[in-house]
């Protein structure tokens, strides 16, 4: 082989090696680029152009806590659309001016939907229908009674005259929303909030074109509408929802009666325990209802009198005319518990169930439990007359004694100044109450 041929062979081998290396490097670069693309952070991926739809769900009478929640949601929502799902008889307390201003100045389109069927939007809640960019309601709902904005309070600068939309005849009456018929307050009549959101797809509001739904082909060949964005439901925090358990008139009435009834049981049961804690919690919720609802204080007084009459009859170990009068007082108190009809009329069925529950509690449950707690092993309480026992508590003039190993609620007619541990004698049995004094 000549020197020239040898050199040519070496050049050919070098070219082959160089070509192989270039191909390997190119393949490696492409694989590395693919891996980097897969490893890119989730935040760098592009979200749908429209963004999510935020649905603020607050139901029942609106107080300051509910107003603050709605205002914060409207002002801070990172979304293409905020929908307020409404079912409220109005604003019971607080200042809604901040919420109305947040709705009017929001860069995000604000929609209000009243539903589901049977829902209402009255007073200050209905005012949101005048301020929102677009409104809807389910068939069978009612809107109206725009004034007063806040029950029992005057909010300067807030009212039907402070918005651009014409309220029509809804200022002093309730309008029924019917399928296929819109009103001055309702732009769209749709049965569900999902259909309402889908209906807004492609609508331009405030320079923003909404993208909320898309058309897809079903298996049977038909075309259906499905959401094209995330629908995010938000509610007030857990503590606010707990307090708002007493925001309805019939609920506040229930917590008042339940708290006092359970406290009565704890008194006759001669001890402080779980029942006392439940009574305190119920009365606390009843107090929150008092603080936020337009109260009829005569009705509250009637409720207290009714419970006092029940307790008096229970003390006499007989449910008679006082209990009947007490039942009437409780019913009247429940039906007129608030002073803002028709927006804040208590639900009649809630009041009726509460009063029936109180009657059964005093007539059956309380009597049975207390008699069992303070019973003795001997049949016939007359057996206790003349028995000796021991005072367990101070007497002023009532206290607790232990007779034959059983604890009894007792009363002392003598100014003997009985102290815990003093000997006592039973002189008389009055229902479940013993009349005692120092031994003769």
**Hey, which residues does 231 pair with through a beta bridge?**
53
Percent with pLDDT over 90 in the chain: 27
pLDDT computed for residue 373 by the predictor: 60
> Nearest Cα to 440, choosing from 416, 410, 421?
416
Residue matched to tokens 């009859």:
313
pLDDT computed for residue 31 by the predictor: 44
CA–CA separation, 194 and 205 (whole Å):
19
Question: What are the backbone angles phi and psi of residue 378, rounded to the nearest 5°?
Answer: -95, 130
pLDDT computed for residue 159 by the predictor: 55
Helix (H) / strand (E) element for 271: namely none
Q: Is 391 helix (H, G, I), strand (E, B) or coil?
A: strand
Give the pLDDT mean for 140-144.
90
Q: Is 364 helix (H, G, I), strand (E, B) or coil?
A: helix
Residue matched to tokens 């069992």:
372
Residue 92 burial (CB count, 10 A): 31
> Nearest Cα to 185, choosing from 124, 141, 145, 126?
126
| Cα–Cα distance list, 356 to 320, 331, 363, 364 (Å) | 16, 10, 10, 12
DSSP string of 136-201?
Answer: EE-TT-EEE----SBTTB--TT-SGGGSSS--TT-SSSEEE-BTTB--SS-SEE-SSHHHHHHHTT
Give the pLDDT mean for 136-164.
74
Give the pLDDT mean for 5-22.
46
Stretch among 18-22, 72-76, 301-305, 404-408 having the lowest mean pLDDT: 18-22
Stretch among 99-103, 127-131, 412-416 having the lowest mean pLDDT: 412-416
Is residue 71 over pLDDT 70?
Answer: yes
For the segment 314-352, what is each residue's pLDDT rounded down to a tens digit? 877 767 888 899 999 999 999 999 887 777 788 899 999
Max avg pLDDT among 141-145, 175-179, 367-371: 141-145
Report whether the peptide linkage leading into residue 151 is cis, meaning its omega lies within 30 degrees of zero. Answer: no
Percent with pLDDT over 70 in the chain: 78
**Mean pLDDT value across the chain:** 79
429 by Cβ neighbours in 10 Å (0-12 / 13-18 / 19+) ranks as middle
> Buried b vs exposed e over 304-313: b needs ≥16 C-beta within 10 Å?
bebbebbbeb
Is residue 369 over pLDDT 50?
Answer: yes
pLDDT computed for residue 172 by the predictor: 64
| Cα–Cα distance list, 65 to 94, 115, 292 (Å) | 8, 21, 10
Is residue 205 over pLDDT 90?
Answer: no
> Nearest Cα to 361, choosing from 252, 259, 249, 251?
259
Q: Is 219 helix (H, G, I), strand (E, B) or coil?
A: coil
DSSP string of 74-130?
Answer: HHH--SSEEEEEEEBS-B-SS--HHHHHHHHH-SS-EEEEE-STT-EEEHHHHHHHH
Structure-token pair, residue 289 = 């209802």
Max avg pLDDT among 78-87, 264-273, 396-405: 78-87
Bigger pLDDT: 380 vs 231 = 231
CA–CA separation, 312 and 306 (whole Å):
10
The pTM (predicted TM-score) of the whole model is: 0.68
> Buried b vs exposed e over 225-237: b needs ≥16 C-beta within 10 Å?
eeebbebeeeebe
pLDDT computed for residue 147 by the predictor: 80
**Hey, which residues does 225 pair with through a beta bridge?**
215
Structure-token pair, residue 350 = 């809630």
Give the pLDDT mean for 187-215.
87
Stretch among 201-205, 298-302, 327-331 having the lowest mean pLDDT: 201-205
């Amino acid at each position: 082989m000549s020197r020239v041929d040898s050199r040519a062979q070496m050049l050919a081998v070098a070219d082959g090696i160089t070509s192989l290396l270039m191909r390997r490097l190119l393949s490696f670069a492409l694989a590395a680029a693919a891996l980097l693309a897969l490893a890119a952070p989730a935040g760098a991926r592009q979200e749908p152009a429209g963004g999510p739809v935020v649905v603020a769900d607050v139901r029942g009478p609106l107080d300051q806590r509910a107003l603050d929640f709605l205002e914060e949601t409207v002002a801070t929502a990172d979304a293409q659309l905020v929908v307020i799902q409404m079912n409220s008889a109005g604003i019971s307390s607080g200042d809604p001016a901040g919420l109305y201003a947040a709705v009017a100045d929001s860069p995000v389109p604000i929609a209000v939907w009243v539903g589901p069927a049977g829902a209402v939007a009255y007073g200050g809640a209905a005012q949101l229908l005048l301020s929102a960019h677009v409104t809807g309601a389910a068939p069978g709902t009612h809107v109206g009674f725009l004034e007063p904005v806040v029950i029992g309070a005057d909010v300067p600068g807030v009212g039907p005259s402070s918005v651009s939309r014409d309220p029509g005849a809804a200022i002093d009456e309730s309008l029924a929303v019917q399928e296929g018929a819109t009103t001055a307050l309702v732009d769209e009549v749709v049965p569900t909030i999902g259909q309402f959101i889908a209906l807004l797809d492609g609508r331009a509001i405030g320079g923003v074109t909404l993208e909320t739904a898309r058309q897809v082909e079903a298996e049977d060949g038909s075309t259906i509408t499905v959401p094209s964005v995330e629908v995010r439901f938000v509610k007030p925090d857990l503590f606010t929802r707990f307090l708002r358990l007493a925001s309805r008139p019939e609920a506040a009435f229930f917590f008042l009666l339940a708290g006092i009834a359970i406290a009565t049981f704890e008194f006759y049961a001669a001890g402080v325990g779980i029942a006392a804690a439940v009574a305190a919690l119920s009365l606390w919720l009843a107090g929150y209802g008092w603080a936020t609802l337009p109260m009829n204080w005569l009705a509250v007084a009637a409720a207290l009198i009714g419970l006092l009459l029940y307790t008096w009859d229970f003390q006499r170990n007989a449910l008679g005319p006082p209990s009947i009068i007490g039942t009437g007082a409780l019913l009247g108190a429940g039906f007129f518990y608030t002073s803002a009809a028709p927006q804040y009329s208590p639900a009649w069925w809630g009041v009726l169930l509460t009063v029936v529950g109180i009657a059964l509690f005093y007539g059956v449950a309380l009597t049975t439990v207390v008699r069992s707690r303070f019973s003795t092993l001997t049949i016939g309480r007359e057996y206790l007359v003349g028995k000796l026992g021991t005072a367990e508590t101070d007497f002023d003039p009532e206290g607790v004694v232990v007779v034959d190993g059983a604890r009894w609620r007792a009363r002392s007619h003598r100014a003997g100044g009985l102290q815990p541990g003093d000997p006592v004698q039973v002189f008389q049995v009055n229902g479940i109450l013993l009349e005692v004094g120092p031994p003769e």
